Amino acid sequence: MRIDRTTFHDTVLAGVVAAASVALFVLYVPDRPQAEGLPVEGVRMPDPLGGVLLVLACVPVAMRRRWPLAALCAWLVPETLLAVLGYGTGVSGLAGLLLLYTVASCRGLAVALGGLLVSLAAYTLGALAGPVRAASWSEHVVVAVVLVAVWGAGRSLRLRRAYLDELKDRAERLERAHAADTRAARAEERSRIARELHDVVAHHVSVMTVQAAAARRVLASDPDLAQEALSAIEHTGRMAMTEMRNIVGVLRTDARAELGPQPGVRDLPALAEQMREAGLPTRLLVEGEPLPLPAGVDLAAYRLVQEGLTNSLRHAGPGAKAVVTVRHDPHELDVRVEDDGLGAAGPSSRSGHGLVGIRERVELYGGILSIGPLPSGGFEVRAKFPLKDGQSLAPPA
């Protein structure tokens, strides 16, 4: 059976204290005349009974960490008998101080106070009932001060240990909170990258699909028109690859992404022209005086128009037209994409990851998003971004 290391150390300590106490007890010889077995000072001569009581007083040291208060009480019984019978205790008093210190450092305040009071009471009983008399009251005061000092040292150690445990627990809580924040930040970053990838891929692939279908229809009858459609597909594909390379480059630590501004409201004319080339007649209306916008709102507005036009291109049907309206206001940016296509089919026919990503973007900047069919027919995607005082100013270079 494996023995606990602390128990083994305490057992060895108990043996050392017991051996030292018995040695001092046996070697002590009073140098004054004796009367009826007692020296003048009242100290009894060494005998087997005294030696046994000394050993019993030192044995509880071996159990001081497992049962501190019980060990202290077990020490008080033979120690009190030694004092009452008039034996010299040797160094067994050190065992009592060690046990009192252990109780104060390992138990709560109530139990520690109980151990101190029991120790003072046992010492008082032995001093009053024993034949040995102290020369003056100062000796009793010194003993009481020593007991209180040892008890205070034990309490100080306990409080310091509790303080260190609290610091450790607080550090662990902070570490867990930091890890949770890191996971949340990573999840948010993954979500942002997924939105960017979807917006880029869905838009350009939709445009390329429509242009490819148009090229296939006119390939035999009008090769020149088919050639123009194929050139547009090539141009759109190159644009998609460039944007995807920029997004993926941010994720790679061994590659440097191409530096360039994010698309914004200023790029809407080019986007509308691209949609017209893809077969969706698109008209862009700008109301109010354009003002520099925060980078996040600028990108969110562009992505909203891009996703709205992409959905119109895919779902509005042949012959549909789209209108993009951007209204600038000192305190609000209103962006609306509407078409006159198959809006009666319901929003479920146009739901997908793209519109979910747009909703997340708009909510991120405190905007209001409305998506759904129009009463007069067609479909609308509209968002209103609030602009706080001074937020419409361009950030410093």
Cα(164)–Cα(182) distance, integer angstroms? 27
Residue 117: how many CB atoms within 10 A of its CB? 11
Q: How far is CA 33 from the centre of its chain?
A: 76
Q: Is residue 9 part of a domain?
A: yes
List the Cα angle 308/351/379 in 5-degree steps: 45
Contact assessment for residue 301 and residue 293, using Cβ atoms and an 8 Å cutoff = yes
Gyration radius (Cα) of the chain, Å: 45
Which of 133, 160, 193 is the last residue in one of the domains? 133
- Residue 257 has a pLDDT of 46
11 has pLDDT over 70 = yes
- Of 86, 114, 133, the one marking the end of a domain is 133
The pLDDT confidence band at residue 90, using thresholds 50, 70 and 90, is low
Cα atoms found within 13 Å of the Cα of residue 23, Cβ hemisphere only: 6
Query: How many angstroms separate the Cα of 131 from the Cα of each of 29, 40, 144, 176, 292?
Result: 17, 10, 20, 64, 100
Residues listed for the chain: 397
Provide the percentage of residues in the chain whose pLDDT is more than 90: 10
Classify residue 28: in a domain, yes or no.
yes
Q: Domain for residue 171, yes or no?
A: no
pLDDT band of residue 199 (cuts 50, 70, 90) is: low
* pLDDT tens per residue, range 171-197: 888 888 888 887 887 777 677 667 666
The parent domain of residue 321 ranges over: 265-397
Domain boundary among 133, 166, 201: 133
Residue 242: what pLDDT? Answer: 72
Residue 239: inside a domain, yes or no? no
Strands 322-329 and 282-287: parallel
Q: How confident is the model at residue 33 (pLDDT cuts 50, 70, 90)?
A: very low
Residue pair 365/301 in contact (Cβ under 8 Å)? The answer is no
Q: Long-range contacts for 257-266 (Cβ within 8 Å, ≥24 apart)? A: 262/295, 262/298, 262/299, 263/299, 263/302, 264/293, 264/295, 264/298, 264/299, 264/301, 264/302, 265/290, 265/293, 265/298, 265/301, 265/302, 265/326
Residue 356 half-sphere exposure toward CB, CA atoms < 13 A: 9
Judge whether 269 and 284 are in contact, CB under 8 Å: yes
φ and ψ at residue 332, rounded to 5 degrees:
-160, 145
Confidence of residue 285 (pLDDT cuts 50, 70, 90): very high
Alpha-helical segments (H) within the chain: 5-27, 48-58, 68-85, 92-106, 109-129, 137-218, 223-251, 268-277, 295-315, 353-364
Domain count, the chain: 2
Average confidence (pLDDT) over 371-375: 88
299 assigned to some structural domain: yes
Of 357, 393, 390, 350, the closest CA to residue 374 belongs to 350
Share of the chain above pLDDT 70, in %: 76
User: 114 lies in a domain?
Assistant: yes
Lookup: tokens for 198:
């979807």
Residue 116 placed within a domain: yes
Q: What is the CATH number of the domain that holds 309?
A: 3.30.565.10
Structure tokens at 130: 């024993």
Quick one: tokens of 53? 């009581």
- Residue 130 reports pLDDT greater than 70: no
Asked if residue 64 lies in contact with residue 71, where contact means CB atoms within 8 angstroms, the answer is yes
Is the pTM higher than 0.75? no
Residue 2 CA neighbour count, 13 Å, CB half: 3
Q: Tokens 């930091």 label which residue? A: 178
Write out the DSSP string of 277-304. Answer: HTT--EEEEEES------HHHHHHHHHH
Interhelix angle 92-106/137-218, nearest 10 degrees: 40
How far, in whole angstroms, is CA 227 from its chain's centroid?
59
**b/e burial code for range 161-174 (CB count within 10 A of at least 16 → b):** eeeeeeeeeeeeee
Please say if the pLDDT value at position 314 is more than 70.
yes
Which of 126, 110, 111 shows the shortest CA–CA distance to 76?
A: 126
